[in-house]
């Protein structure tokens, strides 16, 4: 990634963090807001909101109208991490290099903080997106809310998590593994770019193109996550490595081996960039997201 693109990434990241801080003020009862803020403001790459902002920008020339939605998607992502780390799910002590939410605030507050974020996120989309004649159309906002609620629900994110948990210690098929990845991880990448494209009022062709791009990088991202679980340390990952094997999880590596999995990541990221090129979507940031996934495993 060249310095110019790195700078653009940093600017987006700073903006997202400033807005998240502003959108989640401490109020009574302080404990729940502190717990929500602890996880949402704990760092992280902010990839999903950056995808939303950049997709909106490249397809409409500006990203301001996508800021509340981008932050809401990061809240949803944080919620899924808080719940994923709970003792009844993956039982993790570390996330983003810090103690997990339930380790700091206790299990009941962590469950409630996740629940609170899940409903607060669409509240932010509704209350903070400027709607009106020369602003975002109400119909457009409804489409974004539909995308958001479907992705967060039992048809996507929760479906992926349920099948993932059910599959622990079992020999599952490649199709089942693909289902888990597409829903547990891919759904949020798809939501991120589609929400940006919808807010940009783009046409069907471009919407389909960014959707395909997101499918490719979403799958590549999860394979990368599986690879890093095997090859990285706690310091590099910010979370406990080696968990997949310990929990008897089937991953891309158990099906294809490490080297073939790396090749698949590379191919998916190249295909993602080719889709953008083919449809005339000129974004160094979207390309850099794909390339950074490729580079992390090599």
Q: Please, what is the minimum distance in Å from the beta carbon of residue 66 to ligand GRG?
A: 18
Q: Is 296 in the site for ligand GRG (CB under 6 A)?
A: no
- CB-CB contact of 96 with 36 (8 Å): no
Q: Is 84 in the site for ligand GRG (CB under 6 A)?
A: yes
- CB-CB contact of 35 with 101 (8 Å): yes
Element (H, E) at 99: strand 98-99
Nearer to ligand GRG, 15 or 136 (CB): 15
Q: Is 83 in the site for ligand GRG (CB under 6 A)?
A: yes
Nearer to ligand GRG, 48 or 287 (CB): 48
Q: Which segment (21-29, 40-48, 56-64, 189-197) binds ligand GRG by CB under 6 A?
A: 40-48
User: And the tokens for 235?
Assistant: 């310091």
Site for ligand GRG in 173-212 (CB under 6 A): 184-185
Nearest to 292 by CA among 65, 50, 59, 67: 50
Rounded CA separation 138/242 (Å): 46
Q: Is 157 in the site for ligand GRG (CB under 6 A)?
A: yes
Rounded CA separation 122/104 (Å): 26
Using CA atoms of 152, 154, 155, 158 in order, give the dihedral in degrees to the nearest 10: 70
Q: Is 237 in the site for ligand GRG (CB under 6 A)?
A: no
Computed on alpha carbons and rounded to an integer, the radius of gyration of the chain in Å comes to 18
Nearer to ligand GRG, 65 or 105 (CB): 105
Q: Is 96 in the site for ligand GRG (CB under 6 A)?
A: yes
What burial class does residue 97 get, using C-beta atoms within 10 Å of its C-beta: 0-12 exposed, 13-18 middle, 19+ buried? middle
Nearer to ligand GRG, 68 or 218 (CB): 218
Among 16, 19, 40, 44, which residue interacts with ligand GRG (rule: CB under 6 A)?
Answer: 44
Q: Is 293 in the site for ligand GRG (CB under 6 A)?
A: no
Site residues (CB under 6 A) for ligand GRG? 44-45, 47, 80-81, 83-84, 89, 96, 118, 152, 157-158, 161, 184-185, 222, 225
């Amino acid at each position: 990634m060249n310095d110019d693109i790195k700078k653009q990434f940093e600017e987006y990241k700073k903006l997202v963090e400033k807005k998240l801080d502003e959108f989640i003020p401490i109020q009574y009862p302080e404990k729940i807001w502190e717990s929500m803020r602890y996880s949402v403001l704990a760092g992280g790459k902010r990839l999903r909101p950056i995808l939303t902002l950049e997709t909106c920008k490249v397809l409409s020339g500006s990203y301001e109208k996508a800021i509340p939605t981008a932050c809401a998607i990061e809240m949803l992502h944080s919620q899924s991490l808080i719940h994923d780390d709970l003792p009844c799910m993956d039982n993790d002590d570390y996330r983003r290099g810090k103690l997990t939410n339930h380790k700091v605030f206790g299990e009941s507050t962590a469950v409630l903080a996740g629940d609170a974020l899940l409903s607060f996120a669409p509240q932010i989309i509704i209350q903070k997106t400027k709607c009106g004649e020369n602003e975002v159309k109400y119909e457009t906002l409804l489409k974004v809310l539909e995308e958001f609620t479907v992705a967060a629900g039992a048809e996507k994110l929760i479906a992926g998590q349920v099948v993932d948990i059910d599959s622990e210690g079992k020999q599952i098929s490649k199709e089942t593994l693909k289902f888990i990845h597409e829903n547990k991880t891919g759904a949020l990448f798809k939501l991120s770019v589609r929400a940006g494209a919808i807010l940009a009022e783009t046409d069907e062709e471009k919407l389909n193109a960014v959707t395909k791009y997101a499918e490719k990088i979403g799958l590549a991202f999860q394979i990368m996550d599986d690879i890093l679980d095997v090859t990285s340390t706690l310091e590099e990952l910010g979370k406990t490595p080696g968990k997949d094997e310990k929990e008897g999880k089937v991953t891309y590596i158990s099906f294809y081996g490490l080297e073939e999995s790396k090749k698949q990541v590379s191919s998916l990221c190249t295909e993602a960039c080719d889709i953008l090129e083919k449809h005339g979507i000129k974004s160094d940031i979207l390309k850099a997201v794909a390339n950074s996934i490729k580079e992390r495993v090599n």
